Amino acid sequence: MSGDKDIAILGVGMHPWGKWGRDFTEYGMVAARAALADANIKWTDIQYVAGADTIRNGYPGFIAGATFAQKLGWSGVRISSSYAACASGAQALDSARAQILAGFCDVALVIGADTTPKGFFAPVGGGDRKADPDWQRFHVLGATNPVYFALFARRRMDMYGATAEDFAQVKVKNSKHGFTNPNARFKKVNVIEDVLNSPVVSDPLRLLDICATSDGAAAMVVCSMEFAKKHRALAENSTTDGLCRVSAVGTVTPVYPQSVLELPDIASDSTAVVPAPARKYKDSIAWSAYEQAGIGPEDLSLAEVYDLSTALELDWYEHIGLCAEGEAEGLLRSGATTIGGRIPVNPSGGLACFGEAIPAQAISQVCELVWQLRGQAGDRQVEGAKVGITANQGLFGHGSSVIVSR
Amino acid sequence: MSDSPATAPTLSRVPIIEGWFTDDVHAPHLIGSKCPLCGTFVFPPRSGDCPSPFCDSTTLEPTPLSRRGKVWSYTENRYTPPPPYVPTEPFEPYALAAVELEAEGLVVLGKVATGVLAADLKVGMEMQLELDVSHRDADHEYMVYVWAPARPSAASTASATASTTDGGAA
């Protein structure tokens, strides 16, 4: 499978996820140098840096492209800085891809890194910001992020018969996938009781159903197929066989009316005059990627989806088309989404093993696909992996779905 | 949150946020916005452009929303949310519900009336809008809209009947 809008992934690298509270650029530099080494590319040969922003770390976080260009040593490189909440990494990749496909550059570094506070995420910055919906939901309702995760979880229970054990099983599965992952933060194999015995945070979700906030960094070196061919010719052979390619980056926004209540909104759009679109927003994210790549869910070897909560992983099974609406619990119980099953989901261990390092997370999902497709995933290897998809959503309507193939 | 207004006669009652709901404690309404051109609805209320990409209206007008709707989903907070939430001391778990308003085609998230927890709720359950005290400071009692189960109980048949009538009026 290859298309004329493909770009190559020459190298990937990560700093392990954890909680240290150090300067986020320290983590980013480790990931950047790892990706450059993996690509066998010198920093001074990089023509473009696409940074994924963090809004929690002052000015340097808002200008991630420039921050890392300076940190790696000013080279005159062109830059961009993207903020799209949890989808920032995919927006950065999309920015680099557009530059490459337009012929404005041949090879680019995509990078995201974060240091996060403990506990619930709260609005950034102080003061009464009464017109900011993010401030409003906390002040008026106490609607934390887990509140929204819980609304989706409770709906699965009442509509489709999901149980607390199903949600716990997602955590158990992901912990078994990720506990040997060298970049994971949580390396304990969980059992169902661990989850069921943890305290309820937002009913029905318990502490171990909800992902933590983490420090971490991920980076990749991407280039045109032509550049990849020349680069390889210097090293070994002139083909692009076996190279991982980005076949799609889905970054769609919602279509009015967004009829599903999504984080951080206090109400949905109205369906009174314009009916809801046939394909709801979270479905449209992966489908836009499938259409770009010219494939469907039946072609996938694996998926990395955003398990902000265990129950949200089940929602993603349906949004990316692994099963019909209401059938995710059955798919999970069948073992299909466990490594060794028909379509392993989150072989990295997912957010359950990592926690979320916002600007790095969408990039780390792509790193995992690359290691899986190259056969370098060690204990968590999905045998014969050829095509993978990532999916996530950033608040305020940021979609993110990347298809990688080889 | 459940104290009756009579227990705090010196506190002045103010809405926790301006312009989102009427202050009629017996039959409060959420205040949304309606597009004068295409007729679509918006909540929370705002001025300015219609959200529909198919409509060119640059104004929206305030409109009361239906007082009744059905639960789309719900949850219950077991931990104190971080600021700018203002908690009551000691913190008591409370439920939140997202309620579908049929006429407006909106799903509106709100707190649930004090004492009604997740175990009392179900997707599809009929709810109605009420007002409750969110928190107090030295001078003020801050009011917030809440969703409450719409089923009449023996003790409140009269007010529930009144609410049913109001429910259709929006």
Domain boundaries, chain B: 67-158
**Contact at CB, A261 and B98, closer than 8 angstroms:** yes
Average pLDDT over residues A120-145: 86
Q: What is the pLDDT of residue B6?
A: 52
pLDDT band at B169 (very low <50, low <70, confident <90, very high): very low
Contacts of B42 in chain A (CB under 8 A): 267, 270
Contact A272 B40 (CB under 8 A): yes
* Predicted local confidence at residue B7, as pLDDT: 53
pLDDT for the residue A242: 81
Query: How many C-beta atoms lie closer than 10 Å to residue A406's C-beta?
Result: 23
Across the range A33-38, mean pLDDT stands at: 98
Q: Is the dihedral of CA A186, A192, A197, A199 positive or negative?
A: positive
Chain A CB within 8 Å of residue B109 CB: yes
Residue A293 in contact with residue A405, Cβ under 8 Å? yes
Residues of A in contact with B85 (CB under 8 A): 138-139, 142
CA distance A255 to A369: 29
CB-CB under 8 Å, B75 with A203? yes
Task: Report the alpha-carbon distance of residue B38 to residue B56 in Å, rounded.
Answer: 9
Structure-model confidence comparison of residues A235 and A270, the more confident one: A270
**Predicted pLDDT at A238:** 57
Collapsing DSSP to helix, strand or coil, B145 comes out as: strand
pLDDT higher than 60, residue A325: yes
Structure-token pair, residue A273:
């005059």
Tokens of A304: 């990395």
Contact B53, B159 (CB under 8 A): no
Per-residue model confidence as pLDDT tens digits over B10-29:
799 999 999 999 999 889 99
- By the 8 A CB rule, do A199 and B76 touch? no
Is B14 in the A-facing interface, judged by CB distances under 8 Å? no
Cα distance between residue B136 and residue B82, in whole Å:
17
pLDDT interval class at A239 (50, 70, 90): low
Please report the sign of the dihedral spanned by the C-alpha atoms of residue A137, residue A138, residue A143, residue A149.
positive
Question: Which residue in the block uniquely carries the two structure tokens 């069948």?
Answer: A334
Mean pLDDT of A144-170: 98
Put simply, whether B57 touches A (Cβ < 8 Å) is no
Handedness of CA A94, A99, A103, A109 (dihedral sign): negative
User: Which among A144, A158, A271 has CB closest to B81?
Assistant: A144
Mean residue pLDDT across chain A = 95
Least confident of A157-166, B70-79, B84-93, B102-111: B84-93
Residues in A touching B53 (Cβ below 8 Å): 256
Q: How many CB pairs under 8 A join A and B?
A: 149
* Number of helices and strands in chain B (H, E): 1, 9
Is 80 exceeded by the pLDDT of residue B168?
no
Confidence of residue B72 (pLDDT cuts 50, 70, 90): very high
Whether the per-residue pLDDT at B131 is higher than 70: the answer is yes
Instruction: Check CB contact under 8 Å for A128 and B44.
Output: no
Q: Is the pLDDT of residue A120 over 80?
A: no
**B41/A272 touch (CB, cutoff 8 Å), yes or no:** yes
* CA B88 – CA B141 distance, rounded (Å): 12
- Chain B hits for A144, Cβ within 8 Å: 77, 81-82
Write out chain A residues lying below 8 Å of B104, CB-based.
Answer: 270, 272
Q: Which of B41, B1, B37, B44 is nearest to B130 (CA)?
A: B1
Predicted pLDDT of residue B1: 47
pLDDT above 70 (res B155)? no
pTM, whole model, 2 decimals? 0.93
Please state, in angstroms and rounded to a whole number, the distance separating the CA atoms of residues A247 and A245.
6
What pLDDT score does B156 carry? 46
Label residue A170 by pLDDT band (50, 70, 90). very high
Q: Which residues of A fall within a CB distance of 8 Å from B73?
A: 151-152, 154-155, 158
Residues of A with Cβ-Cβ distance to B111 under 8 angstroms: 141-142
pLDDT > 70 fraction of chain A, expressed in percent and rounded: 97
Chain A hits for B1, CB-CB cut-off 8 Å, are none
Going edge to edge, which strands form the sheet with B31-34?
Answer: B41-42, B31-34, B61-64
Partner residue facing A270 (CB), from B20, B77, B105: B105
The string of pLDDT tens digits covering residues A201-233 is 999 999 999 999 999 999 999 999 999 999 987
For B44, which of A147, A154, A266 is closest by C-beta distance?
A266
pLDDT in the model for residue A237: 57
Give the pLDDT of residue A310.
98
Q: What is the DSSP letter of A294?
A: T
CA distance to partner chain B, nearest, from residue A117 (Å): 12
B8, pLDDT greater than 80: no
Q: Which residue of A has its CA nearest to B47?
A: A131
Give yes or no for a cis peptide into B44 (omega within 30° of 0): yes
Which of A144, A151, A273 faces B98 most closely, judged by CB atoms? A151
pLDDT of B59 reads 98
